[in-house]
Structure 1
Amino acid sequence: MPSTRDTSGTFTLPPEQIDHLLTGCCSDPFAILGRHNDGAVDIIRVFYPHAARVRLIMERPRSGPIERPMRQVDDTGIFIGTIRKGAPYRLRVTWADATEETSDPYSFCSLLPEEELVAFGEGRHFHADRLLGAHPATLDHIAGVRFAVWAPNARRVSVIGDFNIWDGRRHPMRLRHTAGVWELFLPGLAAGARYKFEIMTHDGTILAQKADPFAHRTELPPATASIVASDKPFAWTDKAWMTARAQHYAPAQAPLSIYEVHPPSWRRPQGNVDRIATWQDLTRDLIPYVVENGFTHIELLPIMEYPFGGSWGYQSLALFAPTARHGSPEDFAAFINACHLAGIGVILDWVPAHFPNDVHGLACFDGTALFEHADPREGMHRDWNTLIYNFGRCEVRSFLISSALMWCERFHVDGLRVDAVASMLYRDYSRQDGDWLPNVHGGRENLEAVSFLREMTDTLARHVPDVLVIAEESTAWPGVTHATSEGGLGFSFKWNMGWMHDTLQFVQRDPLWRGYHLSEILFGMHYGFSERFILPLSHDEVTHGKGSLLARMPGDFWQQHANLRAYFAFMWTQPGKKLLFMGGEIAQALEWNHDGEIDWATLSDPFKAGVQRLVRDLNHVLRSHTALHELDCDPQGFCWLIGDDVTNVVFAWSRFATDGPPVVVIWNATPVVHHDYRVGLPTGGYWHEILNTDAEIYGGSNVGNGGGVVARDEPAHNCAWSADLVLPPLSVIILSPACTVS
Structure 2
Amino acid sequence: MSDWRSLPQPMLDALAAGWCHDPFAVLGPHRVSGGRVVRVFRPDAEAVDLLDRHGARVGPMRRVHDGGVFVAELPPSVRSYRLKIVHPDGSWSVVEDPYRFPSTLGELDLYLIREGAHEDLYRKLGAQPATLKGMRGTVFSVWAPNARRVSVVGNFNGWDGRRNIMRLHPGNGVWEIFLPGVGEGEPYKFEMLGPDGRLLPLKTDPMGQRFEPPPGNAALTWRSRYRWHDEEWMRERHGQTGLHQPMSVYEVHAGSWRRHEDGSWLGWREMAEALVRYVRKMGFTHVELLPVTEHPFDGSWGYQPTGMYAPTRRFGDPDDFRYLVDRLHRAGIGVLVDWVPAHFPRDEFALARFDGTALYEHEDPRRGEHADWGTLIYNFGRSEVINFLAASALYWIREFHIDGLRVDAVASMLYLDYSRKDGEWLPNIHGSNENLEAVAFLKELNIAIHRVGGTAHAEESTAWPGVSRPVEMNGLGFTYKWNMGWMNDTLAYMREEPVHRKYHHDKMTFGMVYAFDENFVLPLSHDEVVHGKGSLLGKMPGDDWQRFANLRAYYGFMFGHPGKKLLFMGGEFAQWREWDHDRALDWELLDQPRHAGVQRCVRDLNHLYRDVPALHQRDFEAGGFEWLDWNDRDASVFSWLRWDTEGGFVICVSNFTPVIRRDYRLGVPVAGDYRVLFNSDGADYGGSGVENAALISSESRGVLGREDSIVVTLPPLATVYLARVADRHEAGDSNAKQQ
1:715 and 1:251 map into 2 onto residues whose CA distance is 38
Comparing 111-120 with 446-455, which one deviates more in the overlay? 111-120
SS at match of 1:264: coil
Corresponding position of 2:259: 268
Contact 2:287 2:333 in 1 (8 A): yes
Contact 1:507 1:563 in 2 (8 A): yes
Amino acid at match of 1:610: G
Deviations 1:14-49 (A, max 9, x none): 111111112211111112110111245321011111
The offset of 1:636, in angstroms, is 0.4
Corresponding position of 1:400: 389
Check if 1:461 corresponds to 2:450. yes
The offset of 1:9, in angstroms, is 5.1
Contact 2:341 2:407 in 1 (8 A): yes
Deviations 1:612-659 (A, max 9, x none): 000000000001100000000000000111111121111100000011
The offset of 1:660, in angstroms, is 5.0
The offset of 1:59, in angstroms, is 3.3
Corresponding position of 1:89: 81
Superposed, 1:235-634 pairs within 5 Å as: 235-246=227-238, 249-270=240-261, 272-273=262-263, 275-462=264-451, 464=452, 466-634=453-621
Comparing 331-340 with 281-290, which one deviates more in the overlay? 281-290
The offset of 1:296, in angstroms, is 0.4
Contact 1:688 1:709 in 2 (8 A): yes
2:624 and 2:65 map into 1 onto residues whose CA distance is 85
Structure 1 vs Structure 2 CA RMSD: 1.3
The offset of 1:539, in angstroms, is 0.3
* Cα 1:643–1:220 shift into 2, 3 Å: same
Check if 1:121 corresponds to 2:120. no
Amino acid at match of 2:350: G
Contact 1:129 1:214 in 2 (8 A): yes
Check if 1:105 corresponds to 2:98. yes
Corresponding position of 1:212: 205
Check if 1:167 corresponds to 2:156. no
Corresponding position of 1:135: 128
Corresponding position of 2:46: 52
Amino acid at match of 1:239: E
SS at match of 1:92: strand
1:246 and 1:688 map into 2 onto residues whose CA distance is 39
* Cα 1:93–1:536 shift into 2, 3 Å: same
Amino acid at match of 1:582: M
* Cα 1:135–1:250 shift into 2, 3 Å: closer
Amino acid at match of 2:535: S
Contact 2:241 2:479 in 1 (8 A): no
2:80 and 2:705 map into 1 onto residues whose CA distance is 89
Aligned mate of 1:229, from 222, 225, 231: 222
Check if 1:16 corresponds to 2:5. no
Comparing 450-459 with 37-46, which one deviates more in the overlay? 37-46
Contact 1:221 1:324 in 2 (8 A): no
The offset of 1:370, in angstroms, is 0.2
SS at match of 1:717: coil
Comparing 201-210 with 347-356, which one deviates more in the overlay? 201-210
Corresponding position of 1:3: none
2:310 and 2:669 map into 1 onto residues whose CA distance is 53
Contact 2:126 2:141 in 1 (8 A): yes
SS at match of 2:590: helix
2:116 and 2:439 map into 1 onto residues whose CA distance is 15
Contact 2:4 2:64 in 1 (8 A): no
SS at match of 2:74: strand
Contact 1:40 1:84 in 2 (8 A): no
Contact 1:58 1:83 in 2 (8 A): no
Amino acid at match of 1:171: N
1:74 and 1:640 map into 2 onto residues whose CA distance is 87
Superposed, 1:28-39 pairs within 5 Å as: 28-39=22-33
Check if 1:151 corresponds to 2:138. no
Deviations 1:559-587 (A, max 9, x none): 00000000011001100000000000010
Corresponding position of 2:668: 681
1:432 and 1:640 map into 2 onto residues whose CA distance is 42
Contact 1:33 1:46 in 2 (8 A): yes
2:271 and 2:44 map into 1 onto residues whose CA distance is 48
* Cα 1:660–1:269 shift into 2, 3 Å: farther
Deviations 1:465-510 (A, max 9, x none): x311100000000000111111110000000000000000001100
The offset of 1:10, in angstroms, is 6.9
Contact 2:12 2:65 in 1 (8 A): no
The 4+ residue runs of structure 1 with deviation greater than 4 A are: 7-11
SS at match of 1:363: coil
SS at match of 2:256: helix
1:374 and 1:221 map into 2 onto residues whose CA distance is 30
* Identity score, percent: 50
1:276 and 1:336 map into 2 onto residues whose CA distance is 18
SS at match of 1:13: coil
SS at match of 2:734: coil
Corresponding position of 1:186: 179
The offset of 1:365, in angstroms, is 0.2
SS at match of 1:265: coil
What number of residue pairs does the alignment pair up? 727
2:428 and 2:487 map into 1 onto residues whose CA distance is 31
1:40 and 1:12 map into 2 onto residues whose CA distance is 13
Check if 1:79 corresponds to 2:89. no
TM-score (norm 1): 0.96
1:164 and 1:382 map into 2 onto residues whose CA distance is 40
1:583 and 1:96 map into 2 onto residues whose CA distance is 61
Aligned mate of 1:700, from 687, 691, 699: 687
Contact 2:362 2:368 in 1 (8 A): yes
2:311 and 2:3 map into 1 onto residues whose CA distance is 54
1:84 and 1:96 map into 2 onto residues whose CA distance is 28
Amino acid at match of 1:628: L
The offset of 1:715, in angstroms, is 2.2
2:65 and 2:408 map into 1 onto residues whose CA distance is 58
1:549 and 1:177 map into 2 onto residues whose CA distance is 56
Unpaired runs of 5+ in structure 2?
A: none
The offset of 1:408, in angstroms, is 0.3
The offset of 1:250, in angstroms, is 4.4
2:705 and 2:116 map into 1 onto residues whose CA distance is 56
1:222 and 1:532 map into 2 onto residues whose CA distance is 43
The offset of 1:674, in angstroms, is 0.5
Amino acid at match of 1:236: W
* Cα 1:434–1:9 shift into 2, 3 Å: closer
Contact 1:690 1:707 in 2 (8 A): no
Unpaired runs of 5+ in structure 1?
A: 1-6
